Structure 1
Amino acid sequence: MTPGVDPTAYAPQSVPPPGETLKETLEVLGIPQADLARRTGLSTKHINQVIQGTAALSPDTALLLERATGVPAGLWNAREAAWRTQLAREEEEKALAEQVDWLDNFPLRELVSRNVLPDASKSVQNLRRLLDFFAVATPDVAQNLRLGYQAAFRRSTVLSRNEYATATWLRLAERQARERDCEPYDRAGLTALLPRLRALTLQEQGTWSTELPLLCARVGVAVVYVPALTKTNISGATRWLTSEKVMVALSDRFKKDDQFWFTFFHELAHVVLHGKRLTFMDDNDNLSPTKSHEDSSEDEANDFAAEVLIPAQYAAAYRKLAATRYLSLAAIENFARTIGIAPGIVVGRLQHDKVLPWTHGNNLKRTVQLG
């Protein structure tokens, strides 16, 4: 690729039609069109149509021209292909110019900040870049593909609420995850890794943000952090990229460690417990341990996350803590230290269980900032 050249920006090429090259070649060789027709066995009309560009220069014709002119067939084929490609690009340019309104659906300025687009202009060049970003041919294909994928999303209400911004966030996550090197998926290995992952909640973000993806990559889980986009309600997503590699994408929508870690283990539950053909998109409704869901997989994921964070062996101690009449922050910190987990996570659990008001204990939570 030439440095400084944008491969997605279309600029008309100066590729001459193969007929023009054939006409010049005949003039140099001093061969009239009628004589070329006799040498090749083609009609004079067909030779003239090739020269005028109204007939394609086929591979069979290229071989005949090679014998009659000495110019290799490969050159004639290359000229024909370059010419037809140029014509196709010009037609595509016209078609895309009528579809630039599709860009109105997307958070263009945020795509600029994520280095997907160079600017927020409503242009054919940006439309082409966005199609390349989603790896689709046209906006119509993208729409049909989205509808086809919808059946694989277990949280389709999220998509229907903010479908374009959500699709953009998911694509950002998927592209990042596909670039991450991972060992083949190992369910037993992931299960064995859970205590070590849980212990990371005690670490500062500068440590866990590096360790978490590295540890998970060893068992086939590509963990990626994708800051939330405006108008998306997504906390996390799980999607199998191959039968041996699964993406777990996490956003910073809630900005606090209790929500972040609950989301993470909720997504791991989808990996461990649920089907490889499904994509799970999770928002605040899914991540409520106190709410029953129509989709049992969400309740299962919530139970899994709650159990990992505060295991059953500490259930009695937690109930005792929750029953404390005058619950102090010091008591919460002491309990968290005893069970080896970040105190903000205990605060979040107590708030969900309505033991603490949402306004209390938040200073024990740590801020999560991705990107």
Structure 2
Amino acid sequence: MKTKHIAPAKAIHPGEILMDELEAREISQKEFAIKLGIQPTQLNEIIKGKRGITAEHAVLLGKGLNMEPIVWQNLQSLYELDRVIINERTQNRLVAIEEWDKIKNLIPEKYLKKMGAISGDPVHDLPYIKEFYDLNTLEELPAVYQKTESFLNRKSTKNTVDKINLMGWVNLIKATAKNIQIEKFDHRKEKEIITGLKKILANNKDTIEKCKKLLASYGINLITLKHPEKCAVDGVCFWSNKNPTIGLSVRYKRIDNFSFTLFHELGHIFCHLKENKETQFIDVELSMDIDHSKAEKEADQYAMDQLINPSNWEDFVTLPNRLEKKSLVKFAQLEGVHPAVVKGRLCFELNSYTIKVDIDNLLG
């Protein structure tokens, strides 16, 4: 079996080992030089690492210390090998540090360290960054952010979006999705998926994990990942391998917000990604009052219609007691959704988020 030689941080000259050997045997340098028939200065240069051990020296040292000559020859060879490796390793590190300094402002370094994606060692982190952003060379990194605009389907009017942090979050979702193996996706199971999710959301217990498990059984990845600073991202949707993937930041720990965002991304899957596996949708600041693209409007409508039947909703909003808790809860039960979803929809349509109906909306 082959063994890999690992160079130490410092190359050890065989002269240091020779000095230790002489001291252990209480032999003086002068005495030993005379015994070997070499000049004391020559022996001293070997001990101080200023002179190498030749084959002749190895034979003499072996005989003088009752050791195999090959031991000293090997020690000299290892020293020279270590010097070459250490020098190459140092040069590689210097190059890596220089390259890292060029790109560190183009990646969310702080966020990726916090999430454990990079270690802070440029020698190890640079190859990861190339794979992380799907780059052939690091010079391609600026182009990643030029492409972002075409994928940013809903833009926040309230918060400034840091594109570097945003793409770091998106790519961390993608990196996670690559390592997940789930069932084959079948778009014909749409109704089953919606029905199953609504039951989980209405019950609101261990909601995220149950949604992940259900979606995985139908071939859809659901990944939740905390968002970076200055990045009001809510969700992303794309294909990974042969499966559609949803990434959610869960910025708001509310069941109504989680329900709508999840169904919005499902809208992208069943309305847009089903026929186009090359695109992706990045949703920032999911809010119905923000101007956005046709695809986003369709995803919004999908979420609303799948959570609550449109004609049933029209009837409900005309009821005089629609703002009473009893009426609201009853309608939610009929629709199979959590009451907070109904209250959230009312708040939006009435443009009033101070409706005094005591409904617990905490995500369970």
- The correspondence of residues 21-100 of structure 1 with structure 2, limited to 5 A, is 87=88, 90-91=91-92, 93-94=94-95, 96-97=97-98, 99-100=100-101
1:353 to 317, 325, 349: 349
- Other-structure match for 2:112: 111
Residue 342 in 1 paired to residue 321 in 2? no
Distance change in 2, residues 1:162/1:151 (3 Å): closer
Contact 2:234 2:250 in 1 (8 A): yes
1:278 matched to 2:274? The reply is no
Residue in structure 2 matched with residue 364 of structure 1 by the alignment: 359
| Partner Cα distance (1:283, 1:11) in 2 | 49
TM-score when normalising by structure 2: 0.66
Residue number in structure 2 paired with 1:241: 240
SS of residue in 1 equivalent to 2:174: helix
In the other structure, the counterpart of 1:142 is 141
Q: Cα 1:101–1:340, aligned 2, differ >3 Å: closer, same or farther?
A: same
Superposition TM-score, scaled by structure 1 size: 0.65
> Which residue number corresponds to residue 165 of structure 1?
165
Cα 1:334–1:11 shift into 2, 3 Å: farther
Distance in 2 between residues matched to 1:190 and 1:326, nearest whole Å:
30
Say if 2:214 is the partner of 1:215.
Answer: yes
Deviations 1:165-205 (A, max 9, x none): 11111122112222222222211123432111122111234
Give the one of 321, 329, 333 matched to 1:333. Answer: 329
1:108–1:167: structure 2 CA closer, same or farther, 3 Å change rule? same
CA contact (8 A) 2:151 2:280 kept: yes
Once residues 363 and 228 of structure 1 are traced to their aligned partners in structure 2, the CA distance between those partners, rounded to angstroms, is 30
Q: Deviation at 1:97?
A: 2.2
SS of aligned partner of 1:320: coil
Q: Structure 1 pair 265/100, CA: closer, same or farther in 2 (3 Å)?
A: same
Amino acid across the alignment from 1:178:
K
Question: Does 2:257 match 1:259?
Answer: yes
**Would you say the 8 A contact 2:160–2:230 is kept in 1?**
no
Answer with 167-176 or 127-136: which moved more: 127-136
Deviates more, 1:123-132 or 1:214-223: 123-132
Residue 96 of structure 1 contacts residue 127 of structure 1 at CA under 8 Å; is this kept in 2? no
Structure of higher RCO (CA pairs closer than 8 Å, 6+ residues apart): 2
Mark the runs of 5 or more structure 1 residues left unpaired by the alignment: 1-9, 15-26, 29-82
Q: Is the 8 A contact 1:258 1:344 kept in 2?
A: yes
Q: 1:270 to 1:326 in 2, by over 3 A?
A: closer
Q: CA deviation at 1:327?
A: 2.0
Identity %: 19
1:306 paired residue among 304, 307, 321: 304
- Cα deviations across residues 214-238 of structure 1 (Å, max 9, x unaligned)? 2212332111111222211111110
Moved more, 195-204 or 85-94: 85-94
- Asked if the contact 1:103/1:127 (under 8 Å) is kept, the reply is no
Q: Is the 1:336–1:343 Cα contact (8 Å) retained in structure 2? A: yes
CA contact (8 A) 1:228 1:253 kept: yes
Alpha-carbon RMSD: 4.1
Change (3 A) 1:127 1:363: farther
Q: Is the 8 A contact 1:329 1:361 kept in 2?
A: no
Q: Report the secondary structure of 1:237's partner residue.
A: strand
Contact residue 154 and residue 296 of structure 2 kept, 8 A: no
Q: Is the 8 A contact 2:160 2:231 kept in 1?
A: no
Instruction: Pick closer, same or farther for the CA change 1:89–1:215 going to 2, 3 Å.
Output: farther
